[in-house]
């Protein structure tokens, strides 16, 4: 009997994705357009944060949004209706993450010459999206207070690859068993350089700090 041939599919897929992600980064560099990959678990507040962000920046920074979900067009419709911002919906058809090839399809549907910033709302998941490079300039993630402060212990890769962590729903801190100090300690043990910003999309607390970070990123990333 012939020996079974073993093919390391994931390794090949990730290698191909890394090459395409590099192409995405080069494309955005040439367009001088910033690509932000926003990740979180379902319900943490990605769409709400995007809408809050657009309120602050859409009049002086040209923005496009790429929404991703396993099914439906709800998020893209909401962004367009509530902010008037161009939004593209990527329906992954079962995939629990975006990869660089999918992001490329979304970018192809946008007029990058007229944009300074593209925000990707990745599929709600703390596992798969962390494994696939989208080609983004920077990665951001949201952790909401109701999810608990132990998530860095359970999903270390996600916290390791992100440049900024937004702790959302801080208006719940008084009613939740959530140790903000313990969270920060756990996150910085994984990623000492991460920026941690406390926000509430409900009250608006901390949103200006987040927007200032993002605005500075967009304005300085391609100025050299």
Please report the domains of the chain, with CATH numbers, ordered by start residue. Answer: 26-219 (3.40.50.300)
64-73 residue pLDDT tens: 999 998 777 8
Q: How confident is the model at residue 180 (pLDDT cuts 50, 70, 90)?
A: very high
pLDDT(17) > 80: yes
Q: Looking at per-residue confidence, does 53 or 2 come out higher?
A: 53
If DSSP codes are grouped into helix, strand and coil, which group holds residue 39?
strand
31-64 residue pLDDT tens: 999 999 999 999 999 999 999 999 999 999 999 9
CA distance 45 to 65: 15
pLDDT(10) > 60: no
Q: What is the pLDDT of residue 215?
A: 97
pLDDT(224) > 80: no
Q: What is the pLDDT of residue 5?
A: 54
Angle CA 196–138–61, to nearest 5:
95
CA distance 187 to 177: 18
Taking the mean position of all CA atoms in its chain, how far away is CA 125? 11
Mean pLDDT of the chain: 92
DSSP string, 65-111: EEEEESS-SHHHHHHHHHH--EEEEEE-TT-SS--HHHHHHHHHTS-
Among the residue ranges 23-27, 35-39, 101-105, the one predicted with the least confidence is: 101-105
CA distance 152 to 184: 9
Q: What is the pLDDT of residue 69?
A: 86
Q: Looking at per-residue confidence, does 223 or 150 come out higher?
A: 150
Mean pLDDT of all residues in 135-153:
98
Q: Which of 112, 69, 113, 65 is nearest to 88 (CA)?
A: 65
């Amino acid at each position: 009997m012939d020996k079974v041939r073993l093919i390391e599919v994931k390794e090949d897929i990730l290698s191909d994705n890394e090459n395409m992600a590099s192409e995405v980064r080069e494309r955005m560099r040439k367009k001088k357009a910033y690509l932000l990959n926003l990740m979180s678990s379902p319900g943490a507040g990605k769409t709400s944060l995007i809408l809050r962000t657009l309120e602050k920046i859409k009049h002086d920074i040209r923005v496009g949004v790429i929404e991703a979900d396993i099914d439906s067009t709800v998020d893209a419709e909401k962004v367009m209706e509530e902010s008037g911002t161009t939004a593209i919906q990527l329906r992954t058809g079962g995939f629990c993450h975006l990869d660089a090839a999918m992001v490329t399809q979304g970018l192809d549907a946008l007029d990058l010459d007229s944009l300074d910033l593209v925000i990707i709302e990745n599929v709600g998941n703390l596992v798969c999206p962390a494994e696939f490079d989208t080609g983004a300039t920077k990665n951001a993630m949201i952790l909401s207070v109701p999810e608990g402060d132990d998530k860095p212990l359970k999903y270390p890769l996600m916290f390791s690859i992100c440049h900024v962590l937004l702790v959302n729903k801080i208006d719940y801190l008084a009613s939740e068993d959530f140790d903000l100090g313990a969270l920060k300690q756990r996150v910085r043990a994984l990623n000492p350089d991460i920026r941690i910003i406390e926000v509430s999309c409900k009250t608006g607390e901390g949103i200006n700090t987040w927007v200032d970070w993002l605005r500075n990123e967009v304005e300085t990333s391609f100025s050299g």
